Every structure is written in C-alpha cells, then in structure tokens.
Structure 1
Amino acid sequence: MTQNPPVLFVDDDENLLMGLKRKLRGKFDFDTAVGPLQALEKIKAGNKYSVCVADMRMPDMDGVKLLAEVARLSPDTVNMMLTGNADQHTAVEAINRGHIFRFFNKPCEDEDLIAGVKAGLRQYQLITAEKALIEQTLAGSVKVLTEVLAQLNPAIFGKAMRAKLWCDTIAKQIGYPHPWELGLAALLAPIGYVSLPPEILARLGEDKPLQPLERDVVRRTPEVARKLISNIPRLEQVAGIVYLQNRNFDGSGFPAEGPLGTEIPLGARVLRIFNDLGKIVESDLVVKQHFDELRHQPKRYDPELLDKIEALLAKEDPSYDKVAYPKGTEHDIYLKALRMGDFLLTDIETREGQVLLAHGNYVSEIQLQRLRVFQELHQFHEPIRVRRGGQDPEITIREGS
C-alpha cells in the first residue's frame, strides 16, 4: 500500500514543536512548521501533507485563516485544530472556513492526539481512494465520449479540440475556479451531435447550409449532451455549462427559458463566445478582426468577458504589417475567414450564379453581416482571393473620388 504523506504540525512555539517530535517519533511520519507563514511556504513549495494540525492563536495569521488557505492549496489534506478557546463562534468559523475534521483542546493528552491523527490519516485514505476511483471512472467515460465524437465527425471533433485549447489558455486569467472543468465542457460541447442523422452531420462538418427544420434539430443538441454528460460522476457542472452553451447574454437563444446576463454560468458564457469564434477562425491565428466581427451581435455575449478573452487570445496579423507589406498581402480564403477591410480580387458568387459582392471593393461591416446571413442559406464558389493590409481603405476611397 502506498505510504501516506507526512502529518504537518504548525505552532508558533518552537519548544512545543520540539516536544511533539520527541513524543510522536516512530508513531507516524510528520513535519513541523514554526508559524503559519512557514507552513504555507512548505505547501506552496510542493510538499504534500495528509493531515495538518494547527494551533488557533498564532501571530501573522490565526489557525482558522491558515487552515482555510491549506484547504484551498491542498484540498485533500485533512485539517485539525489545537485550541484553548473552543467557543462556539470559533468552532463554527473553523468548520465553515477551514474545513476542520477534528478539534483538540489544550492541554491535549498524547493518547488523544495520536488517536485523532490516526483517524485523520484514515480519513485521508478514504478521500484519496474515492478521488482516485472517481477520476478513473471520469477519465474512462470522457475517453469513450470523445472517441465516439472523433469517429462520428473528425472535423467537428477538431473544432472542439481547438475550443478546449482556447479554454485552457484563458481559464486561469479569467478567474475560472476549476480550469479542467471549462476545458472538458468545450471538448464535450458538441457531443449531442451523436443524435443527428448522418446527412446533417456531414453538412455541419463541411459548414454547408442547413434547412430550417434541420437547424432546429441541431439547436436542441445541447439537451441531448446534458443527458449524456450528467450520467458521469462529478460532471454535473459540465453538463449544465454544455446545456446553456447557446444561451445568449440577453436571455435569447437556447434554451428559451433560463438565466440571463451574469447569472448564466461563466463557462457557458465562454462557450457562447468560442462557439461563434470557431465558425470564423480558420487557422490557429486568432486576431482582433475576428472579435470585431463577433461584436456585430452584442446581445449574444458578455461584453466584459469578450474584452478579456480578446486581450488574452487575439494576436497581431502579420499580413497587416504596412512596413513589411506596403501593398498588402494576397490570400486564397474560404468565406468564413473573410474580414472587414479585405479587398476582393474575385467575385463572391453563389453556386446558383448570384454575385453577392463584386471584386474590386473593400468588404464593409454591413456587407459582411449580409454575407453571414446568406451563408446560412446558400453555397458559394470557394475559395476566393483577397488582399489584406496595405493602404487604408478610407485613404484609397478619397484618392479615387
């Protein structure tokens, strides 16, 4: 059986700690810290502890605050407190904030302390054993779901993987409490597509237009996803995020009833942005122009969150470097990668022969919005050729007027 990590005793009285070392030597592995700051330094340095026994009254930080921080930094550690002031307020605060497993009143008999620590070690074994079992179940279940999705439609799975990478990049910076949860939600967001007929899946993977009834079926796939994911232990929050991934910030979207604004879970607000960002980003390069396009639909997204994500993800597009490319750069692109300010070198034409935008023009905001609507209904000749960067469109227009 794997040996438990040592027990940590924390007290500002170094003589008391020396006495504990003499009494407890040979009973179990343990470490000591003179005061709360040294204890936190040890944990932050990567030391693992099965049990932490802390005195209540210490300078710099009392036992309640210390154990609350220990619970945050090392959630599996079982916390205990030594106190000569076990009043009701102290007890309630310690239990609520410090996740206290057991109290010891000073002075504490050696036998009681040893018995209590051994109980703490058994509790640690239970916690870690259950966690290992759940994590193995979780990992296996998620692996099955993602493999199903990858086999079902590699293109859709690829987009989900990219969204997961975006989530992994921004999770800590936006203050997401459990980053793994956000990345997993992005990866499993399209799992509801398993309920779709093959022909709809194929068109989705190729970004082809859908009929109204087909769009309605696709719109409800988060409901299927929630039912699948909620059967996996510890993924209740992920299931809720995935279910609300298409709920708009103003309360519109799917589902029709539910939270709005900042009451929508943070993870769902992130997915709402990344779902649409994934439709217009063609490569690994995410640029400011992509977020400019998202802002055409301001009611969909949390504006503060959108600004934060742009600051974290958006890069400078080298094709707009006027020093390196004074005449701009030419690109063959698909329509979903078209941006405001692109100069058209070929017509944008539907397969039926309708020219939506003629070559020789810069793409405006209104034209781009109109094109996105048409893309939902028609197929176009692709790729098209554009020029990016170079002279400012406004300057060119004035010179030609």
Structure 2
Amino acid sequence: MTAASASKTKPKVLFVDDEVNILHGLKRQLHRSFEMDLADTVDQAFEFIEKSGPYMAVVSDMRMPDLSGTEFLKQVASAAPNTVRLMLTGNADQKTAVDAVNEAGVFRFLTKPCSKEEMTEALNAAVKRYQTNTAEQLLLKKTLVGSMDLMTSILSIANPELFGRIANMKKRIKSLAEALNVADSWSLEVAAIFSQVMIISLPADIREKLVKDTPLQDEELEILQALPERYRKLVGKIPRMEPVADTLYFSLKNFDGSSVPIGNIAGKKIPASARILHILSDLQERQIYTGKAEITVLSEMREETNKYDKELVERLRTLAILDSQNQPMVEKEIPAYSLEPGQFIISDLRTINGRLLLLGGQQMSETQLNLISSYIANGTVAEPIKIAVPK
C-alpha cells in the first residue's frame, strides 16, 4: 500500500487551538494514525468544516480568543451534526465540563497536558462513535427511502395526481440539494412526500385562496392552523423522523413569520428544509392554478420577500433556467408494448375508457411499468403514447 492510499484510510480529524505550538505538537504525535487539519482560529475551523469536511471528530481548546470552546462546539453540532466533538483544556473545573457536555454534546473532556496514548484512545473511541452513528443513519435512509419509493410508485396508480406532484417535488429537491451541497437530501424528500399529502388534504377552495392571497374565513383558518400540528404528531410517531416532522411543521410558514404555525419564528430562524419545502410546494400550486411556466412563477415569487427566502428562490430559478438549456428533446409516439423503464412520458397514460393510469411529465419506473403491465397485456391502454427522446 502506498503512502497516498494509506492516508485515505486514516480517520479525518480537525484540531482547533489558538496555540500553534500545541497544534504542531499534536500533529507530530498523531499524524501516522490520523489525517489531521489544524486551525488556530474559529473562523479557520469553520472554513475547514465547510470546504474539507466531513470530519469524524473535532477537538477544540476550551479557551479560544474569539469564542469559547463550548459555544464553538455547539455551533459545530449544528453545522456538522455527525461529527463527534471533544474538548481539550487546562481548565478542568466541574462547571466547564458540565457545560461542555450538556450544551455542546461533547463526547470526551480531556485536560492538558494530554498524553499521546490518552488522546489516541479518545480519538479512536470518537471514530467508532462516528462510524456507528453514520451506519445507523445509512440503514435508516435505505430502509425509509426504499419504502417511500415503493409507496409512491403504488400511489402513481391509486392517485396519479398526488404521485405527479410528489415526483416533481423530488426532482426539484435533488437538483437544489446538489446545488447547495446538501449531503443528505433524503429527509427532505421524505418530508416532500408528506407535505403533498398534507396540502392535497386541504379543501380545494382553501388551496386556491392561499395561491391567490385571498383572506380565509374563520372556519377555513381553523382548518389551516390545525394542519401543521396534526402532521407533526403523525410523522413524529415514526422513530428517527423528528427532523422530518419539524420540517413539515414549519413548511407553511412565510419568511416574515406570518401564516401558520402562529409564533415569533421568522427569516433564517425557520429551518432551511422548511423554507425550501414552502417554496417548492407553493411553486407547484401556482403552476397548477395559473398554468404559468416554472421560470415565470419563480420570477414572481422572487419579489415576494415577505413569503419566501429570496436567496433560495433565486437559486431555484437559476437551476430552472439551466435545465431549460439542456439537450433538446423531441416528441415521439410509441405503442404501449414499447414502454420501458426510464422513458420520459409526455402524455397522460390512460385506459381506452379514459381511466388515468399515470400522469404525464415523469420518467417511467420499473415498479410503475409492472403495475400497469396487465392493462398493456389486455390491450386496454389508449395509444399512441407520447414520450420524449433526445433530438
């Protein structure tokens, strides 16, 4: 094994201390066992986390000149929740240790001087904790997303309109997550599924009034106000789904703090996932009720800074413009027996009696094709079917 390939297998750790000599001493002792980045300021540390992460562990000095170690690690927990946090300090009083554990979720509290053996043992334990946590999350993600994909594919036959809404939302979320460098977009995709169930459960007249900014009557307002809490409780009963429940709870909240749920939270304090969901859900509703193009609607929404995070709307609008410049496609008509997974279906798929099987404007999945295979075999699918192919 070469030195280059060996370094890739080392656990990645960030050390933060304003005393440069201590940082270099740690590197001399530990560089053979760990891939290490060194930061002597909090700003430099956050730059490393943003550009060079994820780190399995972050070790911070308690007394940094611009921010306390406890407050720094608290912010690390928010920016990189999977990273295991350790504190190294010469200040070993009990209150410091208690605050570090309770406020910043610190995994280990190490006092100076710390031997190489003690630091190595603590870091190895932190790495094991990180690997356990991420393995559990990966299993949850695969299980949950797989279950949701199956459910939505079945839903495409039972309720084509709802499935079409969910498919469009997930497509936009994936594009936005890539542009924003969001590592785990799966929880947002799951929230999107529930959000569309939530929205479509509202009476059509209330949905239309929300799109047109028409004041709601008292009984309509009561229905709307009850919705976020009802779905937060419903989803919150599922293990490990608390973040999804919180996203749903705030997904109807306007950027200025108006709308439901009633409360003082506003602006960037509204969870980013909820702000994204609010934009995407309203974008879809407006397109349905107005018939306007995506870029046109986003241009209008960009000016409504009381409702939406303008930065996120602008990012989504840019993505929509870029998508419109992709490889040109042409329309092609095919018989039902030529349908294959991966084809982009333009027209609604219906039986010869007019029953809607699949909403147009989405890619055909293998599960969907299996679900309608009996209609194809019996010759009851209306033909021809319009698909899009590269020009």
TM score, norm. by length of structure 1: 0.52
Structure 2 letter corresponding to 1:29: F
Tell me whether 1:282 sits opposite 2:291 in the alignment.
yes
Q: Offset of 1:102 from its aligned partner?
A: 0.8
**Post-superposition offset of 1:284:** 3.6
Which whole-Å deviations, capped at 9, do the CAs of 1:205-228 have from their partners, x for residues lacking one?
Answer: xxxxxxxxxxxxxx9999998898
Residue number in structure 2 paired with 1:203: none
Which residue number in structure 2 is paired with residue 304 of structure 1?
306
CA-CA distance at 1:123 after TM superposition: 1.3
Between the aligned partners of 1:244 and 1:69, the Cα distance in structure 2 is 22
Distance 2:198 2:157 in 1: 14
- Change in CA separation of 1:74 and 1:192 when aligned onto 2, cut-off 3 Å: closer
**2:16 is matched by which residue type in structure 1?**
V
CA 1:38–1:245: 2 relative to 1, 3 Å:
closer
> What's the counterpart of residue 30 of structure 1?
35
Query: 1:73 aligned to 2:79?
Result: yes
Pairing 1:129-144 to 2, within 5 Å after superposition: 129-144=135-150
How many residues align structurally?
278
RMSD between aligned alpha carbons?
5.1
Aligned position for 2:49: 43
* Contact 1:55/1:63 (8 A) holds in 2: yes
2:192 is aligned with 1:186:
yes
2:244 maps to: 238
The amino acid that maps onto 1:277 is R
The aligned residue for residue 105 of structure 1 is 111
How far did residue 121 of structure 1 move?
1.8
Q: List alignment gaps of at least 5 residues for structure 1.
A: 196-218, 252-257, 293-301, 316-401
Report if aligned partners of 2:18, 2:40 keep a CA contact under 8 Å in 1. yes
Equivalences for 1:1-400 in 2 at 5 Å?
3=9, 5-26=11-32, 28-36=33-41, 37-164=43-170, 181-191=187-197, 232-239=238-245, 259-260=261-262, 267=274, 273=282, 276-282=285-291, 284-285=293-294, 287=296, 304-305=306-307, 312=314
Does structure 2 conserve the Cα–Cα contact (< 8 Å) formed by 1:71 and 1:98? yes
1:83 shift after superposition: 0.9
State the 1:65 CA deviation. 3.6
**What secondary structure sits across from 2:52 in the alignment?**
coil
Q: Which amino acid aligns with 2:40?
A: G
* SS in structure 1 at match of 2:294: coil
Question: Does the CA contact (< 8 Å) of 1:192 and 1:221 recur in 2?
Answer: yes
Q: 1:305 to 1:164 in 2, by over 3 A?
A: farther
| 1:86–1:278 Cα change, 3 Å | farther
Higher relative contact order (CA 8 A, sep 6+): 2
Q: How far is 1:169 from its partner?
A: 8.2
Give SS of 1:100's match: coil
For structure 2, the 5+ residue unaligned runs are 1-7, 202-223, 319-391
Structure 1 Cα separation of the partners of residues 65 and 228 of structure 2: 52
Q: Structure 2 vs 1, CA of residues 145 and 60 (structure 1 numbering), >3 Å: closer, same or farther?
A: same
Query: Which residue type is aligned with residue 144 of structure 1?
Result: L
Larger Rg: 1
Identity %: 35
SS in 2 for 1:45: helix
Between the aligned partners of 1:224 and 1:106, the Cα distance in structure 2 is 50
CA distance in 1 between partners of 2:287 and 2:76 (Å): 39
Alpha-carbon deviation of 1:7?
A: 2.5
> Cα offset for 1:79?
1.0
User: How far is 1:291 from its partner?
Assistant: 7.0
- Deviation of 1:33 after TM superposition, in Å, equals 0.9
Deviation at 1:80, TM superposition (A): 0.7
- Return the alpha-carbon distance in structure 1 between the equivalents of residues 128 and 237 of structure 2: 29
Contact map agreement 1:78 1:101 (CA 8 A) in 2: yes
Deviation at 1:78, TM superposition (A): 1.0
Offset of 1:247 from its aligned partner?
11
Instruction: Give, in angstroms, the shift of residue 55 of structure 1.
Output: 1.6
* Distance in 2 (alpha carbons) for counterparts of 1:263 and 1:243: 12
Tell me by how many angstroms 1:111 deviates: 2.8
**Distance across 2 between alignment mates of 1:41 and 1:307:** 24
